[in-house]
Structure 1
Amino acid sequence: TDMEELLAGIWQDVLGISEVGVSDNFFSLGGDSIKGIQMASRLNQHGWKLEMKDLFQHPTIEELTQYVERAEGKQADQGPVEGEVILTPIQRWFFEKNFTNKHHWNQSVMLHAKKGFDPERVEKTLQALIEHHDAL
């Protein structure tokens, strides 16, 4: 089936093997819990989801296909955030601590390029970051 082919291809990639049969055991082929998570993640990229318990209980493709379900993608609103925004948990923690020398709590980076930077491109890049990350 199409699902068996999809699972077989994912198993081949994740396990680094060239052929997988529908009755092959994922764990006997070298799979483990980490590779199972990788497999489920790749399956999710194709719009499907699988519970890890199902892989452990049904470790062959022919058994597993009946437990693969269509992933219901949750889309977060990507519109601009406007108005007052509450502090994140880490921001609340920071302000509750009432540190002296708050200026020590920052993150910075210094960039250098032999040919310098194009100011317009830097500004466009920073503006894109600001538009994409609500906290900025």
Structure 2
Amino acid sequence: MEQPGPSDRTWSLILSGTTDVVSRSRDFARQALTAWHWLPGTGEIARETAEDVLLLVSEVVANACLHGGGPRALVLDCSAERLRIEVTDGNPAPPVRVPAHGPGDRGQPGGHGLLIVERLARDWGSEPGVDGKRVWCEVPCPPGIRVPG
């Protein structure tokens, strides 16, 4: 269920019981970014930041699939200062960054999700919930976008 908030500032997507959650989440985020005028054609900084947002959404949703028992919801909250991405899941354990692979393991997949989040996000973290956790990350809003009211 997709739902922009009453002010169009907060968009929520329920993911429990759905399939293809990473693609659905990216499509949902792309719709929100378009509504907020980050996409298309809003300047190079906004487009680059929007691509970072789509990658961040993919990473936190995929991590919830792999380590959190599946994502329950995706929330995008946009203010004049920042865009906050939140994903809830049913595992109360906080995310753990996997140590870098050794020199002989460079071809090994996985373990890079939080490294990508750390690199692209201004800040990130997790908060325990009643029956799971919320993983969040934030990116600064580029200049010249429409700030949701």
Normalised to the residue count of structure 2, the TM-score between the two structures is: 0.27
Larger Rg: 1
Higher relative contact order (CA 8 A, sep 6+): 2
Query: Greater helix percent: which structure?
Result: 1
